[in-house]
Structure 1
C-alpha cells in the first residue's frame, strides 16, 4: 500500500464522512414518517467491499454499533459473485441483524466498472412492522414471531428494478403501509447518493487511492484506540445493575459486567448476568456489542474516528442464553430501549473508580418508548405514533447533566407538539421539564421531562416501554439519585390509573396519558455545589428553595 501522508488522510477521512452525512440528509429529507423526518430515528454508513466500517454519520449509537454485524451477515448470504449493480437488500431479522424488527436495514453494493468496490448501508426505525400491537413493540410478546414481519435478507431491488412482489408483501403485513413504503424508498435514495458520491471521488483520485485511504483510516483508528487503552491501569473492574421486569413479570433482571484491561486490549465479560427472559427484554449479541463499543469509546477516546479499527481491541464475553445473548426465538423488541441502556450504565459504573474524571452518573436509563396506534376515523386509515422520550443526563466530574435529552445509546430528536397535533388524533396538554427531578450533587443530574397527550377518538392501543420507575438512576462519589419515572392515565370519567413501566392497554376518547421520565444522577457531594449554581437552579425553577435548603444546605 502506498504511504498516505497525514493531510491527505484527513482529507479522505472527511470525504468519506461527508458521504455518510449526505446519505443521512437524503434519508431524513425524503422520508414519510414523523419518526424519521422529524425524530431522525435512522442511521447511515459507508463500508469497504468486505463489510468493514469506513465512515458513519453522527446518528443513533445503537444503530451504528450493530450495523457492521448486519453488513457482514448480508455479505455471507450474498457473496460478491451473487451481487449485481443496482441490487438492494432488506433485512430486519434480530437474530441476523442484531436489532429489533422495526429497524429495517437497507444494504446496497456499489460497483465500479463491473467490480464491487464498497457497500452503502442505512437503517430506519419504521413505525410499524405488524405484530401484537401498533408500533410492533408489545411488552407482552413471548416469542419473536409475535413481534412482527421478519425479513431475513431479501432483494427489494434487483439490478435496478424494484421487486413489486416484495413491496406488496411488505405493504400487506403492516398497519401503515404507505408510511413504511415511503420510508423504504427514502432508504433506497440514501444509498444511491452514496454510490454517486463515491464514484465522484474515484473520478477525482483513483480507485487504488480510495482503497488505500479506507485501509489506512481503519488502521489509524486502531492505533489510537490501543494507545488509549494502554493509559488505563491493568485490572478487573466490576459493576451490576438491574432492569425492572420484562413486561410479563416485574421481577428484577440482573446485568453483571466485568471490564478486564490488559495491555492494549479490553474484554467486557457479562458472565453472571440473568438468563434470557420470557418477555421482550432480551438483547441480541449485536445490540450488546454496540453498547460495549459505545461505552468504551466514550470513556477512552471519544474523538477517534469511528470505524472498524476503533473496535479491534475490544473483546466481548456474552454467555448464550442470557439476557445479553438470547437463544432463538426469544422476543427482543424492548431490549433496544431498556436493556441496551443498562448495559451501557454498568460499563460506566465499572470504570468509575479507575476513570473518575471521565465517568458519568446514571442517566435516565431508558429510551422510554411510547407508541399509540389505531384507526383514525376522520382520515379513514390506520396510524402509528412512535416516539422515545428523553430524560435527565447523569452529571459528570466538571459539569451538570443535560436536561430532558436522549443519552447513551440513542440521540434522536423529539416530535414537535405541532407535528403531533397535525399528524395524529391527539392533543398535547403539556410538555415541560420536571422541576427538582435531577439528582443532587456537586454537579446536578439533568431533569426529566413530562408530556401529557389526550385522545381525540376511541379505541386506540398504547404501549409504554420504560424503566427506572422503581430504582433511582444512581449518583457517583456522593451524588444522589435522580427522580424515578412514572406514567399516569387520566380517564375521561375522572379515574386516575398508575401505569406500569411496561404495559400495553386500550385508551378511549377523552383519556389522557401523562408520562414523566427519570432525572439523571448527581456527581459529588451536594454540599460542595457552589452557591452561585444553587441560586441559578432556584431562579430557573430546576429546584425549589426548600430543596436547596434540604439537599444543598443552602441558606438565603
Structure 2
C-alpha cells in the first residue's frame, strides 16, 4: 500500500514505514535493556550510551536505526561500524560473536567509550551489525575516570584496544575479560556494564530476527534503505532552505591544560543547493594537552546542522549523507597518534558552537551558543564509610548549563549541553553507592546571556565528600562564557571553589564566598567573580579549568557555578514584562536587568519612564562605542 502527500512528494509505502519504525523500536528496546541492567551510574543514570543497527550495503555499513542516550554517539556510530569492519574478516564471524573496540583512531570518541558489535546472520550471511556503546567508569591509567588532564600521549591514558573478540558464540573470551578487569579500579562496575552491553545485543538480535521473520529480509532491508533515504531527503530540504554561500566563524578553547595559549577553532560552512561542506581549515594545531580529537568532529559537528534545519527526523546514515567535513591532519580536530585525546568533550562542544555561529549568519531561524562545556567531574577512591570500608568506587558528575536563546524564545535552562544531551546523575544513587553527598544542584541567578530572548540559565553543583576522593575537573568557557547571537550577550563563564569543613547551614548560599578557596575563574582584586574586568586565575589554585589529582578531603566540598547559554537578539528589545517576570522568579537580579536590558525595576514593577530613558541612554552609548552588552554574572557576591 502506498500513499502520496503534497508535502513529501514521493509515494510513501505504509508497510515500509511501519517496518522502519520497527527497526527504531528494536534499537530503543536495546537501549532500555542496557540502561536497566548496567551497574555504573554513567551508563544507568547519566545515559552516556547509545544503541544502533547497521545494515550491510554496497556502500559499506549504513546505520538504519538507533536510539541515543548520548547524542554524540548517535552521530559517530555510523562511522565506527565501518572503521571496525574494514579490518575485520567478516567471513570468519560466527553467530554470537561480539567485537570490542575503544581505539579513537579506529572510530571511538575516546578510550573511555567502549563499543561492542554483534553480527546478525540471515540464511548464513551477515546482514546486520548490532552496536552498543557506553562510557565505562574506569579502564585503568593514571587518572580515575579517564579524562586524563595534563597528559600528552595516549600511552598515559586508559587501556586502548583495537577490534578484539570479547565473546565467541556468546561465551566470554576469558583472557580479554581478565585483562580488562585486572587493569581498572572498579572491576565490579566494569564487569556489570560489559555484561549489560552484551545483553542488550542479545535482546536486539532476538527482536530483529522476529521482525525479519514477520516482514521478510528483503522488506526489512528495503525499510532500512527507506529510513535512510527519508532522513536524507529531509536533511537536504533543510539545507536547501539556507541561501548558497560561504559562512565563516571562529571560536576558541581556553587552553589545553598544559600551556596557557587559547586554541582557535575555525570553520567555513559552504552551502551549495541541498549539500554542505564543513571545513575546519585554519583551526589550531594539535594541542600538547589532551583536548583534541582523533576524527569524530567529522560527524559530531553535524549535530548543529541537524538541530537547526531538521530537528524532527530520526538520526541515521541519511543524516550525514548531504554533508562533507574537512579535518586538517595534525590540528585540534584531527590529532595524530600518539597524542592524547581523552578530553573530547570541550572540543566537541566547540565544534558544534562554531558551526552554529556560522549558520546563524545565514538563517533567520537561528540560535545562540549553548554553555559549551559540561564541566565533567570525575571522582574515585576507596570508601571508608562504615559497612563499605575498603571498597573501590568511581562516579561522574555532569553539572550541566544552559542552551542558547533562539529566534523565537528563551534558551533551555539547567540541562546538559547538546553534544551529550544526557541526564545528570541521580543524586540519591550517587549518595548510596559513593561516599559523596550532592548538597546543591540548582539554577543560579544572572548566569544567562542577555538578549531579546535570553539564554538558558546555568547552575551551581556542590559535592561533599565523606571519604578522601581523587577528583579530575574538565571545564572550558572559564574565561568568557557562551557567546550571544544577533546582538545578544554572552553567558557567564564557569567557576570552581574548594570549601573546607563544609556546613550546609553556613555555606549553602552559592553567592557567599566566605570560606571558599577559588580553584579557577575570572576574579577581581577582591576575589569577586568578574568576567567583564577580572583576571583569569587571580588568587586561584589553578591557572586552568582542566586539571587532575585534586584530593577532596573527607568533610570538605567542591562548588562549581556553570554559566548559561548565550542570548539571541538585542537585549534592549526584550519585552520589559519578560524581564520583570525573570526578576520576580529569581532568575535575573534588578541590577543585571538595568545593566544588560535597560529595564528599571522599582517597587516590584517596571518603571516605564525610567526604562525608556535608560534604554535611550544605552542605545546612544552603544552607538558611540561606550557600551556593549555585559557578560552575564551574578551581581551580589558576598565576600
TM-score, normalised via structure 2 length: 0.84
Cα distance in 2 between the residues matched to 1:333 and 1:522:
31
Partner of residue 309 from structure 2, selected from 279, 283, 300: 300
Q: Is structure 2 residue 509 aligned with structure 1 residue 464?
A: no
1:498 aligns with 2:523: no
Which consecutive unaligned segments of at least 5 residues does structure 1 have?
none
Matches within 5 A, 1:451-530: 451-458=461-468, 460-492=469-501, 496-499=517-520, 500-504=544-548, 505-530=550-575
> How far apart are 1:201 and its partner, in Å?
0.9
1:340 match? 348
Q: Report how far residue 270 of structure 1 moved.
A: 0.7
Residue 137 in structure 1 maps to residue 147 in structure 2: yes
SS at match of 2:380: strand
Greater Cα offset, 368-377 or 292-301:
292-301
Question: 1:169, 1:342 → 2: CA distance?
Answer: 35
| CA pair 179-4 structure 1, distance change in 2 beyond 3 A | farther
Find the counterpart in structure 1 of residue 5 from structure 2: none
Equivalent residue for 2:340?
Answer: 331
Distance 1:469 1:394 in 2: 17
Q: Distance in 2 between matches of 1:165 and 1:4?
A: 53
2:119 is equivalent to residue 74 of structure 1: no
Maintained 8 Å contact 1:274/1:322: yes
Which residue of the partner structure matches residue 35 of structure 1? 42
Aligned residues of 1:4 and 1:213 also touching (Cα < 8 A): no
Is 1:441 matched with 2:451?
A: yes
Alignment deviations for residues 199-257 of structure 1 (CA, whole Å, 9 cap, x no partner)? 11111111111112212222222233223322222110000000011111221000000
SS at match of 2:374: coil
Question: Counterpart of 1:313?
Answer: 322
Cα RMSD of the aligned pairs, angstroms, is: 1.7
State which of 558, 570, 578 in structure 2 corresponds to 1:533: 578
Larger Cα-atom Rg: 2
- Measured after TM superposition, the shift of residue 36 of structure 1 is 1.2
Give secondary structure in 2 for the equivalent of 1:51: strand
Equivalent positions of 1:239-388 (< 5 A) are 239-285=249-295, 287-335=296-344, 337-357=345-365, 359-378=366-385, 379=388, 380-388=390-398
Distance 1:167 1:536, change over 3 A: same
The one of 408, 411, 422 aligned to 1:401? 411
**Counterpart Cα distance in 2 of 1:89 and 1:352:** 41
TM-score when scaled to structure 1? 0.96
Q: Please give the alpha-carbon distance, in whole angstroms, between the structure 1 residues aligned to 2:501 and 2:87.
A: 53
Preserved CA contact (<8 Å) 1:444 1:521: yes
Looking at structure 2, the residues matched to 317 and 97 of structure 1 have their Cα atoms a distance apart, in angstroms, of 16
Matches of 1:58 and 1:104 in 2, distance apart? Answer: 15
1:219 and 1:392 map into 2 onto residues whose CA distance is 33
Superposed CA offset, 1:120-153 (max 9, x none): 0011111101111111112111100111001211
Q: Which residue of 1 aligns with 2:535?
A: none
In 1, the alpha carbon distance for the partners of 2:384 and 2:592 equals 47
Gaps spanning 5+ residues in structure 2: where? 3-9, 503-514, 521-543, 601-605, 607-639
Aligned 8 A contact 2:45 2:424 in 1: yes
Residues 61 and 290 in structure 1, CA contact (< 8 A), matched pair in contact too: no
Give the superposition deviation at 1:370.
0.4
Distance (whole Å) between structure 1 residues aligned to residue 274 and residue 590 of structure 2: 49
Superimposed CA distance per residue, residues 73-99 of structure 1 (whole angstroms, 9 cap, x where no aligned partner): 221222320111000011101111231
**Secondary structure at the counterpart of residue 81 of structure 1:** helix
Q: Is the 8 A contact 2:74 2:315 kept in 1?
A: no
Aligned equivalents of 1:247 and 1:199: distance in 2? Answer: 49
Q: Distance in 2 between matches of 1:129 and 1:314?
A: 34
Distance in 2 (alpha carbons) for counterparts of 1:4 and 1:502: 53
Aligned length, in residue pairs: 551
Deviation at 1:495, TM superposition (A): 6.3
Distance 1:511 1:360 in 2: 39
518-527 vs 376-385, which deviates more?
A: 376-385
Note closer, same or farther for the CA distance 1:224–1:430 as it changes in structure 2 (3 Å cut).
closer
| 1:316 CA displacement | 1.1
Q: CA deviation at 1:492?
A: 3.9
Quick check: 2:301–2:348 contact (8 Å CA) kept in 1?
no
**CA deviation map 1:319-371 (0-9, x unaligned):** 10000011111100112x100000001101011121131x2111110121101
Q: Which moved more, 1:494-503 or 1:443-452?
A: 494-503
Q: How does 1:229-244 map to 2 (within 5 A)?
A: 229-244=239-254
Counterparts in 2 of 1:64-103, with a 5 A limit? Answer: 64-103=74-113
- Which residue of structure 2 aligns with residue 553 of structure 1? 598
Quick one: distance in 2 between partners of 1:57 and 1:242? 31
Offset at residue 55 of structure 1 (A):
0.6
Distance 1:551 1:263 in 2: 39
Is the 8 Å Cα contact of residues 16 and 222 (structure 2) preserved in structure 1? no
- Residues 452-501 of structure 1: CA deviation (Å, up to 9, x unaligned): 1122123x210100111101211111211111111111234956132331
The offset of 1:536, in angstroms, is 1.5
Residue 64 of structure 1 contacts residue 290 of structure 1 at CA under 8 Å; is this kept in 2? no
2:128 to 109, 115, 118: 118
Q: Give 1:116 shift.
A: 1.1
Q: CA offsets, 1:394-432, max 9 Å, x none?
A: 100101011111122111111132222111112223221
Give the C-alpha shift of residue 194 in structure 1: 1.2
Distance 1:256 1:429 in 2: 39
Instruction: Give secondary structure in 2 for the equivalent of 1:174.
Output: coil
1:6 Cα deviation after fit: 2.9
